[in-house]
Structure 1
Amino acid sequence: MRIREIKIGKVSIPLKKPFKTALRQVNSAEDIIIKVIADTDEIGYGNAPPTAVITGDSQDSVIAAIRDTIGPKLIGMDVDNIETIMTTIDTAMLHNNSAKAAVDIAVYDLFGKLHNIPLYKLFGGYCNRLTTDLTISVNAPDEMVRDSLEAVKDGFTELKLKVGTDVVLDIQRVKAIRQAVGNDVKLRLDANQGWKPKEAVRTIRRFEDMGLTIELIEQPVKAYDFEGLKYVTDHVETAIMADESAFGPYEVFQLLAMRACDLINIKLMKAGGLHNAIKIANLAETMGVECMMGCMLESKVGITAAASLSAGKRIVTKSDLDAAVLLAADPVIGGVSFVKNELLIPDAPGLGITAIEGWQEIK
């Protein structure tokens, strides 16, 4: 099986509610979905949601990177030679990780179809179902309480609260939500780089003193501030997770060597795809550091890829794979299915995806 052509397209999917963080607000998912087509006519699907404020990738840059630079280098390559293909993707150009991730995912999908194996089994086969949290966008405390109660009613037992816009309000938000949902619901906080190191320590200690039992705090400080992240980790009891700091294998190696965090959030769009995400998981496992599998605003293509790796690896103990739940429609035929807060991984080859409704090709 050899790669014959790569087609680039997009889907536009409205969100059920605006997605708000300390970095951005999004009202619809504008996702690039590619088709890597083999000489057997088999199709591998890949996905990239442009997230300029985090990865630096725009829709236009993703399209250009795949169409003009990465894609042409892969035409004619044997899908069985996955190591060479992944090296070619990695070295085709600097950065552009979301574009690389889309192609990487599609090639792995083809590889799984070629060998008639689901990707979660290819990656280790540890389990075939996952529990995900649900993200609560940063808003006024009363609105976040309403959203949290609605999520719990829908069966979610783990909530990820977006904070980081205002420390005083952040404390009010978390306190109100904890009082509303009770102590049986796990609360995770994501500051999206919104605090300074000492400010983060003061705020997190306040949460601790108030007995709010926060499971973890994600990326409290700027992505580049590894020393600041370590300062926070060393001065609080609550587990600290690196997200934007933990971009790819090299950054994760640095974080682990510094003992700058307690947990690593793996995201395919940061890492450049599954190949590098596997490296991150292996580095973390070597150091005994557990991982979360996270996501941007991927369609179910990207979520299925991330869930497949998460289900395959024992070191990935937490999942933040709720993007498809946040979407008002699902154009993806096949892939993971959702039952309340659980993702069920298909046993079909590759990603188990057969078609994308409403896919519009970009020439």
Structure 2
Amino acid sequence: MEIRSIDTIRQSVPLIKPFKTALRTVHHAESVLVRITLNNGNMGWGEAPPTVVITGDSLESIEAAIVKTFTPLLIGKNVLAYEQLLQSMHHSMVGCSSAKAAVDMAIYDLVSQFSGMPLYKFLGGYRDRLETDFTVSVNSPYEMGEDAVECVKSGFYVLKIKVGKDSIEQDIERIREVRLRVGNEIKIRVDANQGWQAKEAVRSIRRMEDMGLNIELVEQPVKAHDIDGLKCVTDAVETPIMADESMFSPQQAFEIIRRRAADMLNIKLMKSGGIYKAQLINQMADEFGIECMVGSMIESRLAVTAAAHFAASKKNITRIDLDAPLMLLHETVKGGVIYEGPLMILPQEAGLGIQEVKPFVMEAVE
């Protein structure tokens, strides 16, 4: 069960429609795929997208971390000593959380294959299916209303509305338009992606409460570093506030929990550095009665399947935001999680359940 080789492969998959947030606009789902092969021929898969404005990771930095730092550290090691391997990887360099996540999920894929169990069962096995929301990108109020209606027609009953790109007034109009178009039975989550200041966030959320827009939660209303501002908003409104970009590590999660700076936490493998650290964050939150969401960056079914296994294994993960593969124009993975509208069904094969990976790369236009 020794690691024989670690390979990286780039892919770039066009999106059906540009994905727009307060931080960026994405047209292609770029990522680095990781394949770890053992001396017995077994293979484990991982994936890391470059999200420079959030994690600081680029395609080049992800590849460099894996090839130059993690590979020499892991080659020849027994994958079943995964606690030792993952500890070594996390201590080998600061940052590069996406690169760490890709290697982490490939290791967990191999270990759970050896156990003969699907990864979600190996991690705890709390449930075998999830229900995800669907994200409505930030655009004009009218276009967002149209997109929201299409989501509901496709069977989604929880929508995540992106705001924070321009004025608060425009954001409120976006949310009001979506609520008007989809009715009161649909759950609406609002994600400002750090786009507001603390005081204007308080004013806008209170106004939405007074308007009866019935918002389930507001995610990351202020800048990632502004924990004081995050706590200010959390303390001042009735709507639950969720921390996202403010929390990468277990240490940051501890500080948010200690200060009660947010009501909920959004765990993403690309922020935590993979499943190993994500479990620590969720367990800490669970001990203090703070529920968690599992989300993703713009990732293919490969990385999202790993996130889904983790999410399905834990009782304290009560909300799911894993719709990214549904935004891609081409499928690159055979196997993995299956979507039936918002329902995500976990594979029952050992490991991640990835049967084949066919990287897609856009051809250059002459």
Q: Which TM bucket (shorter chain)?
A: over 0.9
Structure 1 distance, partners of 2:303, 2:249, is 17
- 8 Å contact from structure 1 (residues 9, 359) kept in 2: no
DSSP-derived class of the 1:333 partner: strand
TM-score normalised by the chain length of structure 1: 0.98
Which residue does the alignment assign to 2:298? 297
Structure 1 distance, partners of 2:177, 2:353, is 41
Alignment of 1:175-214 (within 5 A): 175-214=176-215
- 8 Å contact from structure 1 (residues 190, 217) kept in 2: yes
Alignment of 1:111-130 (within 5 A): 111-130=111-130
Superposed displacement of residue 115, structure 1: 1.2
Superposed displacement of residue 358, structure 1: 3.1
2:226 maps to a residue whose letter is D
Structure 1 distance, partners of 2:125, 2:358, is 29
DSSP-derived class of the 1:264 partner: strand
Which residue does the alignment assign to 1:172? 173
* Unaligned 5+ runs, structure 2: 362-366
Structure 1 distance, partners of 2:337, 2:255, is 33
Structure 2 distance, partners of 1:164, 1:229, is 15
Structure 2 distance, partners of 1:73, 1:322, is 34
Structure 2 distance, partners of 1:202, 1:306, is 34
Which residue does the alignment assign to 1:47? 47
Structure 2 distance, partners of 1:314, 1:282, is 10
TM-score normalised by the chain length of structure 2: 0.97
Which residue does the alignment assign to 1:220? 221
For residues 170-194 of structure 1, give each alpha carbon's deviation from its aligned partner in whole angstroms, at most 9, with x where no partner exists: 0100001101100110000000000
Which residue does the alignment assign to 2:25? 25
Structure 2 distance, partners of 1:14, 1:62, is 20
DSSP-derived class of the 2:53 partner: helix
Which residue does the alignment assign to 1:87? 87
Which residue does the alignment assign to 1:103? 103
Which residue does the alignment assign to 2:138? 138
Which residue does the alignment assign to 1:14? 14
Deviates more, 1:236-245 or 1:67-76: 67-76
Structure 2 distance, partners of 1:160, 1:262, is 17
1:312 maps to a residue whose letter is S
* Unaligned 5+ runs, structure 1: none
- Name the Cα RMSD after superposition: 0.8
Structure 1 distance, partners of 2:71, 2:135, is 34
- 8 Å contact from structure 2 (residues 13, 360) kept in 1: no
Superposed displacement of residue 357, structure 1: 1.1
1:118 maps to a residue whose letter is P
Structure 1 distance, partners of 2:322, 2:33, is 18
Structure 2 distance, partners of 1:205, 1:71, is 51
- 8 Å contact from structure 1 (residues 163, 191) kept in 2: yes
Percent identical: 50
Alignment of 1:236-275 (within 5 A): 236-275=237-276
2:72 maps to a residue whose letter is P
Superposed displacement of residue 359, structure 1: 5.8
For residues 238-287 of structure 1, give each alpha carbon's deviation from its aligned partner in whole angstroms, at most 9, with x where no partner exists: 00000000111110000000000000000000000000000001010011
1:196 maps to a residue whose letter is Q
Superposed displacement of residue 62, structure 1: 0.3
How many residues are paired up?
360
Structure 2 distance, partners of 1:234, 1:172, is 24
Which residue does the alignment assign to 2:159? 159
Superposed displacement of residue 116, structure 1: 0.9
Superposed displacement of residue 74, structure 1: 0.3
DSSP-derived class of the 1:289 partner: coil
Structure 2 distance, partners of 1:330, 1:40, is 29
Which residue does the alignment assign to 2:364? none
Structure 2 distance, partners of 1:333, 1:127, is 22
For residues 73-122 of structure 1, give each alpha carbon's deviation from its aligned partner in whole angstroms, at most 9, with x where no partner exists: 00011111110011011011111110001000100001111111111001
Structure 2 distance, partners of 1:110, 1:226, is 38
Superposed displacement of residue 153, structure 1: 0.2
- 8 Å contact from structure 2 (residues 99, 273) kept in 1: yes
Structure 2 distance, partners of 1:57, 1:188, is 27
Structure 2 distance, partners of 1:333, 1:93, is 33
Structure 2 distance, partners of 1:100, 1:24, is 23
Runs (4+) off by over 2 Å: none
DSSP-derived class of the 2:54 partner: helix
Structure 1 distance, partners of 2:62, 2:172, is 38
Which residue does the alignment assign to 2:312? 311
Structure 2 distance, partners of 1:109, 1:298, is 17
Structure 2 distance, partners of 1:122, 1:220, is 35
For residues 308-344 of structure 1, give each alpha carbon's deviation from its aligned partner in whole angstroms, at most 9, with x where no partner exists: 0110000000000000111111111110010001110
- 8 Å contact from structure 2 (residues 115, 122) kept in 1: no
Which residue does the alignment assign to 1:329? 330
Structure 2 distance, partners of 1:359, 1:38, is 25
DSSP-derived class of the 2:41 partner: coil
1:210 maps to a residue whose letter is M
